[in-house]
Amino acid sequence: MIDLAEYTYPKGLHLLKSWQAGSNEAKAEIKSVFDAAIAGDFDDNFSILAPADEVHATASVHMLALAILHDL
């Protein structure tokens, strides 16, 4: 099972940068994360509500996720 804590800053950012640069290894690693998410491995994480006293912006993150899925 994939541990999302392994992708905290800056590792997750480095992985995205490698994928954007065309790394096949990064693409395979990102695919495994997306496959786990689709399989429901992260459902508990998605049930955690964001704090109400902070500003949250997700539209650009959603677009990035769609771009990655399109590439995979």
| For residues 13-24, average pLDDT | 95
Q: Which two tokens stand for residue 55?
A: 């500003």
Domain count, the chain: 1
pLDDT at residue 48, rounded to an integer: 85
- State the residue range of the domain holding 50: 4-71
pTM score, whole prediction: 0.76
pLDDT at residue 1, rounded to an integer: 80
